[in-house]
Structure 1
Amino acid sequence: MRIDNVASVLRQTLLAATAGKASAGVFDGPAAPAPPTAAAAPTNLVTANPVSSVQMLIALAATDPVVERRRKLAAETDRGLSMLERLHRDLATGEPSPERLREMAAWVEGFTPPDDPALGEVAREIELRVRVELAKHDLTA
Structure 2
Amino acid sequence: MRIYGPNGTTLGTPSSGTKKTGSSTFSLPDAAPTADARPASAPRATNSIDALLAMQSVEDATERRKKSVQRGRGALDVLDELKISMLAGSITPATVARLKTAAADLKASSGDPGLDSVLSEIELRVEVELAKAARG
Deviating runs (4+, > 3 A) in structure 1?
none
| Structure 1: gaps (5+ residues) | 1-60
Render the CA deviation track for 1:76-134: whole Å, top value 9, x for unaligned. 11111111011101111112111110111122134324231110011000000000001
TM-score, normalised with respect to structure 1: 0.49
Q: C-alpha separation between the residues in 2 aligned to 1:84 and 1:101?
A: 10
The residue aligned with 2:124 is: 128
Shift of 1:137: 1.3
Q: C-alpha separation between the residues in 1 aligned to 2:104 and 2:116?
A: 16
Residues 113 and 124 in structure 1, CA contact (< 8 A), matched pair in contact too: no
Q: C-alpha separation between the residues in 1 aligned to 2:131 and 2:99?
A: 11
Aligned residues: 77
Equivalent residues in 2 for 1:55-74, closer than 5 Å: 65-74=60-69
Shift of 1:66: 1.7
Q: 2:75 aligns with which of 80, 91, 94?
A: 80
SS of residue in 1 equivalent to 2:102:
helix
Equivalent residues in 2 for 1:6-85, closer than 5 Å: 65-85=60-80
Q: Percent identity?
A: 31
Structure exhibiting the larger radius of gyration computed from Cα positions: 2
Render the CA deviation track for 1:26-54: whole Å, top value 9, x for unaligned. xxxxxxxxxxxxxxxxxxxxxxxxxxxxx
SS of residue in 1 equivalent to 2:134:
coil
Q: C-alpha separation between the residues in 1 aligned to 2:62 and 2:103?
A: 24
| Structure 2: gaps (5+ residues) | 1-55
RMSD: 1.9
TM-score, normalised with respect to structure 2: 0.51
